[in-house]
Amino acid sequence: MNQYMNKISRLDRYVFYRVFKKTNDKNCDLIKQVSWTGDGYVYLLFCLLLWLFQAEDRLIFTYSALLAYSLELPLFITLKKTLKRARPSDFLDNFTARINPADKFSLPSGHTAAAFLMASLITNFYPVFAPLVFIWASVIGMSRILLGVHYPGDVLAGALLGLATAMTSLIFLNLA
């Protein structure tokens, strides 16, 4: 089992390097702005716009989001503190990330988890937006690799965490 995990870890680092080096000698301002949309402000803005312009679904959407995030956040924190995966800048020699990470550990990506959670909820209530919001969530995940704060495996784990907690909240509320 340990040999298998080492192979996965090596593949994860290899893919990380291949993706991250695409930003060498490039202006990363747009990538940083995309990543910023995963900080949480956009989710609050979306809920506010929903409250202002969409009377029908605003209450149940807000309940769904609050339940999903109340599940996601403790799981996210528990996983980070239990797994304690070092960020690329802490593990790799002569490496500096393009931004300062919000916390110490890498696995899972919280930005990606939150983005996939929100994309799943939006898709459940407004299916027409599914391609747009899942592309947005995926780009947030990619931005975390391009900025050097997460490995691809962290992003994949974050996406799965976001999807699972969103679906759990929707099932619990009998909306899925």
pLDDT digits (tens, 9 = 90+) for 113-140: 999 999 999 999 999 999 999 999 999 9
The tally of domains found in the chain comes to 1
The question of whether 21 is a catalytic residue gets the answer no
Start-end of H helices in 21-129: 29-36, 41-53, 58-83, 88-91, 110-125
Residue 33 lies in a domain: yes
**Phi then psi for 87, rounded to 5 degrees?**
-70, 160
Q: Evaluate whether 68 touches 117 at the Cβ level (below 8 Å).
A: yes
Question: 119, 149, 150, 162: which one is catalytic?
Answer: 150
Contact at 8 Å (CB) between 70 and 168? no
pLDDT of the residue at 176: 67
Mean pLDDT of the chain: 90
**Quick count: other Cβ atoms within 10 Å of Cβ 107?**
21
Residue 30 lies in a domain: yes
Q: How far apart are CA 47 and CA 50, in angstroms?
A: 5
* 94 within some domain: yes
Q: Write out pLDDT tens, residues 40-51.
A: 888 888 888 888
102 against 171, higher pLDDT: 171
CA distance to 67, 72, 92, 93, 173, per residue, from 151 (Å):
28, 20, 12, 15, 34
- pLDDT over 70 at 103, yes or no: yes
Instruction: Identify whether 7 is part of a domain.
Output: no
- The whole-number average pLDDT for the span 60-77 is 93
Residue numbers of the domain that contains 47: 26-172
More confident residue, 141 or 51: 141
C-beta neighbour count of 112 within 10 angstroms? 29
d(CA 154, CA 160) in angstroms, rounded, equals 10
Identify the active-site residue in 80, 85, 87, 111.
111
User: 88 burial class (0-12, 13-18, 19+ CB within 10 angstroms)?
Assistant: buried
Q: Is the pLDDT of residue 174 over 90?
A: no
Q: Is 111 a known active-site residue? A: yes
Please check whether residue 146 lies inside any domain of the structure. Answer: yes
